[in-house]
Amino acid sequence: MSADNGASQAKVLRVETMNPRIRVMEYAVRGAIPIRAEELAAELKASPGSRPFSKVTPCNIGNPQQLGQKPLTFLRQVSALMEYSDLLSPALLEQTRKLFPEDAIARAQRNLSHVNGAVGAYTQSLGIHEIREDVARFIEQRDGFPADPNSICLTNGASGAVERVLDILVSSPDVGVMIPIPQYPLYTASLAHLDAKAVPYYLQEESDWQLSVADLERALGEARAGGVDVRALVVINPGNPTGGCLEEANIEEVVRFCERERLVLLADEVYQTNIYTETNPFVSFKKVVSRLKSPVELFSFHSISKGMVGECGRRGGYYEAVNIDSQVMAQLLKLASVSLCPNVQGQMAVGVMVNPPQPGDASYEQYQRELGDIYQSMRRRAKKLALAFNSLPNMSCNDAQGAMYLFPKIELPQAFIDEAQSLGQQPDGLYCMRMLEATGISVVPGSGFGQAPGTFHFRSTFLPSEELFDEFIAGFRSFHLDFVARYAASQQ
């Protein structure tokens, strides 16, 4: 029979027949510009010298090891021993001790004991209980308040945790979730997928991206007046894409707001160790909720992908549930059970993140040195890139107080805005695409995250390796100055 037999033989699954909610999803961090960046990288590999740059620099995503960040030795040693556990057998153990420190061997043995020696086997659906105990101790030491391992769920990265909580929250298309603008597009994409309403509130750029309770009240009031059943508030702290870090007084205001308005609070805290400011130390929402003895329902999220660990591809994270109804907790367990369990090496990496080598352990000094080197380098690069952006015409940028990003504001010439609109494109999107074509630098336009009306931004990581950082900045500077000069001339 002919493969092309008219309309009766049309494929069952087509764009027109697929889930319409997936069609409307957008995820700018891996959108048109990163896709074009991958095409350019392939071109350069096939034809070196074919472009005015020698390589593509992917600053569109917080993916530290892609840009050369060295993995933490202890974590990789433990992972290696777990993957090839024969190295721990009596026949090979003496040889293994010549290559691996005693604490890495002991940690691998401990971890394997949690899974009956089989790292490829399923674990408990919420994650290995002993690792959840480690997470609970980490939270207690961080905040000074108790944490319950049974209220902690290990997940395939923080994204998986967020998606699971939103899945529980959204019961109908009328449900709304308040999200910051700018926001990490996981939230708008997930809400579109669930056919829920995103209720935007604006972070205050002029105040280092703090939250305004007045704007929270405005956004909530408008949404509820429009019939939206607003149930939750998302806060990203430290901020993505902004790099801002909330003051403790601001966090307390947010908690009280959620109490008054009966909102579930979702605290995305994956950048909690990426803090570069002395004035705004990281304070968890769990700590403030506990200190206030607040009844607010709270989910907080953490991940191995960020911080100084940077193990994005291992997909390890967790959520902690506070003040959540016991019957809902049972439903969350059921939801976790459908996925059987999070990946085991990701769980083990969470264990290393929250329970690293301690003073007196063989790996302690090296582990601390590696953490410190990564942190200090990241802090230097954050400052250097902010200074570079602020030295350029038509551009301003808040310093990064935390996270891995800067979110500079650009003043685009009206002629360029008109040109972009005539092409059916967002002006900041066209600016970023032209930057990519000229320099190989891939960033994300502010329109992919949301921004105040009439403003234009882009998000760039400061993750390119330090020895290449001057070259990276020079490429961007050259492009921007040429861009400004070209459009200034066109307006004369």
Q: Nearest CA to 245 among 398, 37, 434, 59?
A: 398
CB neighbourhood size of 141 (10 A): 10
pLDDT of residue 78: 95
Question: Which residues of the chain form CATH 3.40.640.10?
Answer: 129-351
Please tell me the predicted confidence (pLDDT) of residue 29.
Answer: 59
Separation between Cα atoms, residue 92 and residue 84, nearest integer Å: 11
Question: Which residues neighbour 91 within 8 Å (Cβ) at sequence distance 6 or greater?
Answer: none
Q: Are 175 and 169 in contact (CB under 8 A)?
A: yes
pLDDT at 72: 93
Phi, psi at residue 165, to the nearest 5°? -70, -40
| Axis-axis angle for helices 213-225, 248-261 (nearest 10) | 20
Which is nearest to 238 in space by CA: 292, 184, 189? 184
E strand spans, 165-316 = 175-181, 197-202, 229-236, 264-268, 298-303
Q: Which of 63, 178, 116 is CA-nearest to residue 465?
A: 63
What are the tokens at 125? 């659906």
- Give pLDDT, residue 1: 43
Distance between CA atoms of residues 113 and 199, nearest Å: 46
Quickly count: other Cβ atoms within 10 Å of residue 155's Cβ: 30
Q: What is the pLDDT of residue 412?
A: 92
pLDDT of residue 223: 96
**Predicted pLDDT at 337:** 84
Q: Can you read off the two tokens belonging to residue 156?
A: 């395939």
Q: Which CATH superfamily is domain 20-68+375-490 in?
A: Aspartate Aminotransferase, domain 1 (3.90.1150.10)
- Assigned token pair, 60: 């569109």
Order the strands of the 405-406 sheet from edge to edge.
405-406, 458-461, 444-445
Q: How far is CA 467 from CA 16, 64, 121, 448, in A?
A: 49, 15, 42, 30
Q: Between 3.40.109.10, 2.40.30.10, 3.40.50.1100, 3.40.640.10, what CATH number should domain 129-351 receive?
A: 3.40.640.10
Residue 378: other Cβ atoms inside 10 A: 24
- 264-317 pLDDT, tens digit per residue, is 999 999 999 999 988 889 999 999 999 999 999 999 999 999 888 888 888 899
Residue limits of CATH 3.90.1150.10 in the chain = 20-68+375-490
Radius of gyration of the chain (CA): 24
Low-confidence ranges of the chain (pLDDT < 50): 1-3
Question: Residues 380, 465: contact at Cβ < 8 Å?
Answer: no
Residues ≥6 apart with Cβ < 8 Å to 377: 466
Predicted TM-score (pTM) above 0.85: yes
C-beta pairs of 34-42 under 8 Å, 24+ apart in sequence: 34/58, 34/60, 34/61, 34/442, 34/444, 36/433, 36/436, 36/437, 36/442, 37/436, 37/440, 37/442, 40/436, 40/437, 40/440
pLDDT at res. 30: 63
What the block records as the tokens of 37 is 């960046």
Dihedral (Cα; 334, 166, 191, 317), 10-degree rounding: -90
CA–chain centroid gap for 279, Å, is 23
Alpha helices in 170-301 (DSSP H): 186-193, 213-225, 248-261, 285-291
CA 459 – CA 233 distance, rounded (Å): 23
CB distance 449 to 29 below 8 Å: no
C-beta atoms surrounding 393 within 10 Å: 10
Check if the beta carbon of residue 460 is closer than 8 Å to that of residue 406: yes
User: Which residues are 442's β-sheet partners?
Assistant: 58
